[in-house]
Amino acid sequence: MTILGSGSAGNCAYVETSQARVLVDAGFSLRQIRQRLATIGRTPENLTAIFVTHEHADHVHGLVQLSEKLRIPVYCNRPTQEAIEYQLQTKLHCRLFSTGATFEVEDLEVETFSIPHDAQDPVGFLLKTDLGNIGFLTDLGHATKLALERVRHANVLVLESNHDVKLLQDCPRRPWSLKQRILGRHGHLSNEAAADAAEQIMSGELNHLYLGHLSRECNRPQLAFDVMNQRLQKIGATHVRLELALQAAPCPTLTLHSSAAPQSLPVATPTLHEGFTQTTFTLHPPLC
C-alpha cells in the first residue's frame, strides 16, 4: 500500500495484491496521479479499479479522466455516482454497490460501511487481502459504533486526524458557519477525536496507523502526530507504527508479509515530504 497523498487538496491511496491494483479515491489530476504512481514504478493504465468514498472534489478530481480516458472501472454507490455526475455534468459509468455490502475485485474482498459526513452517501472501506486487512476511515464527523466495529480487525488503518479544535476556532479565514460544519457530527475528526477512535478499536491486530486528511490551515503535522502518539503510549499500544499521510508527496510503500504473530514496531517520527505541488480545483468543496 502507498498513500499517494492525503489532505484538503487531494486524497488518493494505492493498494496492490497479487491480482489487483486499485486506487481508493482519485482526488488529484490524472497528471498528478501518474507522477505519484511513477515514484513507485506503477502507471494508471494498469489499474484494476477505483473505489470512491464520496463525491467531494478532493476525492474525485481525477476520476472522470481515469474512467473515460483509461477505462478504469469505478466502484461507488448510486447516490455518490449521481452527485458526481451532477457536479461534473457528465455521465459516469460505475459498478454500483449498496452501502453496507461486500463485493470482490480479483483477490480483494471489499467491505463497505456508512460514515457520517456532509456528502450524499459517504462510505468507508475495509480491504481484505491474503496478507492482512486495510481500513480506510476518513471524512467523518464522529466515529460511530458501526464504523469502529467495521475497522476493528484492520491490520493497517488510515484514520482521519483533520484539525486541532483551537486552531480551527481561531482561524481568521473561515466563517463561523464553516467552522460549525467541520466541528459538527457530519464534519471531520479532530486530533483528539481521532485518538479516542484509535483507543476504542485498539487490538493486537492493528500494526500500522496512518493519520490522514490533515487540514492545511487548522492543523500541524507534528501536533497531530504528538496527540496520537501520546495516546498510544498511554494505552500501551507500543506495537503500532504511527505515520503521517501528507499532501505533498506519497508515503513510503508498506508491504505486508505473512506472519504467525504481529511484530512489535517502534513508533515512527513524522517525516515531511517536499517536491510536489498541490493541485487546486473548483468542484464541490470539502469541509476542511
Q: Distance (Å, rounded) from C-alpha 286 to C-alpha 181?
A: 11
The CATH number assigned to the domain with range 2-244 reads: 3.60.15.10
> For residue 193, what is the enclosing H or E element?
helix 191-201
Q: Distance (Å, rounded) from C-alpha 88 to C-alpha 228?
A: 37
Q: Which three cell numbers stand for residue 43?
A: 502507471
Q: Order of strands, edge to edge, in the sheet holding 208-212? A: 102-105, 108-114, 123-129, 132-137, 156-160, 208-212, 241-244
pLDDT at 163 over 80: yes
Give the pairing type, strands 156-160 and 241-244: unpaired
Nearest alpha-carbon partner for 13 in 195, 256, 213, 285: 213
pLDDT at 279 over 60: no
Q: Distance (Å, rounded) from C-alpha 192 to C-alpha 190?
A: 5
The pLDDT confidence band at residue 114, using thresholds 50, 70 and 90, is very high
Q: Distance (Å, rounded) from C-alpha 58 to C-alpha 211?
A: 17
Cell 498541490, residue located: 278
Mean pLDDT computed over every residue of the chain: 91
Lowest mean pLDDT of 51-65, 118-132, 259-273, name the range.
259-273
Q: What is the pLDDT of residue 168?
A: 98
Q: What is the pLDDT of residue 285?
A: 45
Nearest alpha-carbon partner for 247 in 282, 269, 220, 278: 278
Q: What is the pLDDT of residue 259?
A: 55
Percent of the chain with pLDDT over 90: 89
Q: What is the pLDDT of residue 263?
A: 41
Q: Distance (Å, rounded) from C-alpha 191 to C-alpha 159?
A: 10
Report which of residues 128 and 283 the model is more confident about.
128
pLDDT at 26 over 70: yes
Percent of the chain with pLDDT over 70: 90
| SS3 (DSSP) at 46 | helix
> pTM of the full predicted structure?
0.90
pLDDT in tens, 200-224: 999 999 999 999 999 999 999 999 9
